């Protein structure tokens, strides 16, 4: 196992782009600077006949974004399932807040460090409104599980990795975007089986899985009723 992990680390030390270069809609300032690993961008856009129509529908799109427990339904049956957990480790049904956790049920084997789930913590949630632009976003980072005392990141991505989810209205156009930055497989977990699982799942996610998951979510967030 040592050689593959070393090769993964060496390969992902450089900046890599998965997919086409996409203009960052970073009105919220949530997207971090890319330092290492992989860039993965996904987006979907809907255009409306008027600014008024777009502004009215943006309230629905914003609600979908912040209702994390409903992301599986929004993204489609093949997607992961998300459960919002508060700072005290309790399941909650409300809009996401800074400091919350996502308990993620990814298709396939789960992380033993996360009791079968992958975990991220919400670093920030921001909303801006300026002129013809409204934008709401949140950023998450792989984390330990708040439900146990186990050490190590309970996710197939490393602690440097982030995902930023943003919905933006620019005049009569609404765009949902997901920006994965500094994305690398988690090679620092203690257990050998978790290490094998995290590296294999992380590489699979980087080279297709995350793009498919986030494309479905982006499309669902802006889909007209």
Checking 91-100 for CB contacts under 8 A at 24+ apart, the result is: 93/69, 95/63, 95/66, 95/67, 96/66, 96/67, 96/68, 96/122, 96/125, 96/138, 97/122, 97/125, 98/122, 98/123, 98/124, 98/125, 100/68
Spell out the domain ranges in the chain. Answer: 2-222
Whether pTM > 0.75 for this model: the answer is yes
pLDDT for residue 18 = 54
CA dihedral over 152, 155, 157, 161, signed as positive or negative:
negative
pLDDT digits (tens, 9 = 90+) for 74-125: 999 889 999 999 999 999 999 999 999 999 999 888 888 899 999 999 999 9
Q: Within the chain, how many helices (H) and strands (E) appear?
A: 5, 8
- At residue 2, does pLDDT exceed 70? no
pLDDT digits (tens, 9 = 90+) for 169-217: 999 999 999 999 999 999 887 677 777 788 888 898 888 788 899 999 9
pLDDT digits (tens, 9 = 90+) for 140-164: 999 999 999 888 899 999 999 999 9
Domain 2-222 class? alpha beta
């Amino acid at each position: 196992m040592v050689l593959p992990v070393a090769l993964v680390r060496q390969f992902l030390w450089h900046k890599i782009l998965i997919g086409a270069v996409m203009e960052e809609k970073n009105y919220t300032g949530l997207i971090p600077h890319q330092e290492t690993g992989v860039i993965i961008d996904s987006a979907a856009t809907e255009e409306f006949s008027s600014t008024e129509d777009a502004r009215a529908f943006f309230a629905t799109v914003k609600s979908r974004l912040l209702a994390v427990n409903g992301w599986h339904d929004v993204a489609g049956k093949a997607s992961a399932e998300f459960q919002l957990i508060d700072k005290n480790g309790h399941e909650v049904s409300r809009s996401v807040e800074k400091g919350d956790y996502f308990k993620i049920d990814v298709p396939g084997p789960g992380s033993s460090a996360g009791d079968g789930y992958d975990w991220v913590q919400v670093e920030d949630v921001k909303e801006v409104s300026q002129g013809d632009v409204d934008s709401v976003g949140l950023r998450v980072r792989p984390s330990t599980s708040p439900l146990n005392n186990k050490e190590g990141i309970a996710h197939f991505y490393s602690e440097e990795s982030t995902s930023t989810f943003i919905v933006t209205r620019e005049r009569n156009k609404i765009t949902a975007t997901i920006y994965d930055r500094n994305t690398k497989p988690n090679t620092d977990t203690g257990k050998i089986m978790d290490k094998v699982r995290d590296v294999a799942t992380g590489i699979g996610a980087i080279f297709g899985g995350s793009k498919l998951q986030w494309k479905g979510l982006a499309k669902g967030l802006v889909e007209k009723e």
